[in-house]
């Protein structure tokens, strides 16, 4: 096998681990971007990537986003993420997730995994059979359950910061929100918004999800191609990343983009296009931090009330982000990056002790000097 790679040149990540178990059809990649603030925490995504390169690109980008998300949310976790290459509709099995759990276990807590696109609480339970380094478990296992409703709650807090800035109003009632993706977060967001008196229009690639939302919530459902052109106040991307680009931005008929999807901007430069169209963009990793806050609390002993209080801070964080952007004449995503990077820099400078705890030194217990003599 001849291998020609040039990976290290631009790599910002601490570790990238390729997990290969052909017997169980497992091809996964774990990327640990940074552990400066703490162990890397982030979800595992299962998606039928068209190529290994696409999967690698996704996991590198997503894990970096987690570093910034934790930092901006004030959490003491680093950034990591995992992707499993495969179709979640047809290729899931107990063995696949238990085997992946065994790989996570080998990292001994450097990476803790929760759910992401294509992975649910049941899959986490299989991983939990092989490793304790998982979050987002069911209540029955002392977990916090599906983080999506808290993510949706956090997105709504962020929407409040956006409407205050753009429409100078405090309530969402009467506004129209177009939601792209009616999966775990999108459905929960639609449900919460309709209860607040918001007109919701949605779409989903998966017809079952689209029909379910239409039937159960009474929302209007449009085709996946036409969602960008829906006349609305807020466009809420809740599917996959890269959907804000040179093709889609000119189609938007909204004043605000605020949704849960990770890496919404195809490239950072696309934020300029949004600004040129006078559309306020809520930086993705800041507005979608509710789920991360939820699962992070699971490790300290979960309380839903505490999670809601912390997720409420998304409103204040976004308000501050928009103020910084205005003061410094930069774009909101640049202001968010500055806030996150500043926290990482400051925390990294705290003079911590790096002494080993006595009980971590095992060799003294097994080494018998008399036997050697």
Q: Using CB under 6 A, which of 180, 248, 310, 317 touches ligand NAD?
A: 180
102: Cα separation from own chain's centroid: 22
147 touches ligand NAD (CB under 6 A): yes
- Closest approach, Cβ 202 to ligand NAD, in A, equals 9
DSSP structure string for 21-64 = EGGGTEEEEEEEEE-SSSSEEEEEEEE--SSHHHHHHHHHHHHH
**Where in 149-168 is the site for ligand NAD (CB under 6 A)?**
151
Binding mask 204-243 for ligand NAD (x = CB under 6 A): xxx--x--------------x-------------xxx---
- Stretch near ligand NAD under the rule CB under 6 A, chosen from 4-12, 50-58, 178-186, 317-325: 178-186
Q: Using CB under 6 A, which of 131, 288, 310, 317 touches ligand NAD?
A: 288
d(Cα 179, Cα 224) in Å, to the nearest integer? 10
Give the end-to-end CA distance of the chain in Å, rounded to a whole number. 49
- Closest approach, Cβ 108 to ligand NAD, in A, equals 25
Q: Among this protein's residues, is 81 annotated catalytic?
A: yes
Cβ-closest position to ligand NAD = 183
Compute the radius of gyration of the chain from its Cα atoms: 22
| CB nearer ligand NAD, residue 14 or residue 116 | 116
Helix (H) or strand (E) holding 83: strand 78-85
Q: Using CB under 6 A, which of 99, 262, 317, 321 touches ligand NAD?
A: 262
Q: Is the CB of residue 55 less than 8 Å from the CB of residue 29?
A: yes
- Distances in Å between the Cα of 20 and the Cα atoms of 26, 28, 37, 127, 130 are 6, 7, 29, 16, 16
Pairing assessment for the beta strands 280-281 and 234-237 based on DSSP bridges? unpaired
* DSSP-assigned beta bridge partners for residue 26: 21
Q: Using CB under 6 A, which of 39, 80, 118, 143 touches ligand NAD?
A: 118
DSSP-derived 3-state class of residue 253: strand
**Which residue out of 64, 69, 81, 92 is catalytically annotated?**
81
- Stretch near ligand NAD under the rule CB under 6 A, chosen from 7-15, 111-119, 165-173, 326-334: 111-119
| CB nearer ligand NAD, residue 110 or residue 288 | 288
Site of interaction with ligand NAD (CB under 6 A): 115-118, 147-148, 151, 180-186, 203-206, 209, 224, 238-240, 260-262, 288, 291
Catalytic residues: 81
């Amino acid at each position: 096998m001849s291998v020609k790679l040039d990976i290290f040149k631009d790599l910002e990540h601490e570790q990238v681990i390729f997990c290969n178990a052909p017997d169980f059809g497992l091809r996964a990649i774990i990327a640990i971007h940074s552990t400066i603030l703490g162990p890397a925490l982030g979800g595992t995504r299962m998606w039928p990537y068209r190529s290994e390169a696409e999967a690698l690109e996704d996991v590198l980008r997503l894990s970096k986003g987690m570093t910034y998300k934790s930092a901006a949310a004030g959490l003491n976790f680093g950034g990591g993420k995992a992707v499993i290459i495969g179709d979640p509709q047809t290729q899931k099995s107990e063995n696949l997730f238990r085997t992946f759990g065994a790989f996570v276990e080998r990292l001994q807590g450097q990476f803790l995994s929760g759910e992401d696109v294509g992975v649910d609480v049941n899959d986490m339970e299989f991983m939990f059979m092989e490793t304790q380094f998982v979050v987002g478990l069911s209540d029955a296992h002392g977990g916090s359950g599906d983080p999506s409703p808290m993510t949706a709650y956090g997105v709504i807090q962020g929407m409040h910061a956006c409407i205050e800035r753009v429409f100078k109003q405090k309530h969402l009632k009467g506004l129209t929100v177009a939601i792209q993706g009616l999966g775990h977060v999108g459905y929960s967001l639609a449900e919460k918004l309709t209860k607040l008196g918001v007109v919701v229009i949605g779409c989903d690639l998966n017809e079952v999800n689209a029909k379910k939302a239409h039937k159960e919530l009474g929302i209007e459902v449009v085709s996946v191609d036409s969602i960008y052109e829906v006349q609305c106040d807020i466009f809420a991307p809740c599917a996959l990343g890269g959907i804000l680009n040179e093709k889609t931005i000119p189609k938007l008929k909204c004043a605000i983009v605020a949704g849960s999807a990770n890496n919404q901007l195809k490239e950072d430069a696309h934020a300029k296009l949004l600004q040129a169209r006078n559309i306020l963009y809520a930086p993705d990793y800041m507005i979608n931090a509710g789920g991360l806050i939820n699962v992070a609390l699971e490790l300290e002993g979960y309380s839903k009330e505490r999670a809601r209080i912390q997720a409420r801070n998304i409103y204040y964080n976004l308000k501050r982000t928009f103020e910084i952007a205005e003061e410094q004449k930069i774009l909101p995503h640049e202001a968010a990056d500055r806030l996150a990077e500043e926290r990482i820099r400051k925390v990294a400078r705290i003079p911590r002790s790096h002494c080993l705890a006595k009980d971590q030194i095992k060799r003294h217990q097994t080494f018998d000097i008399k036997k050697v003599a």
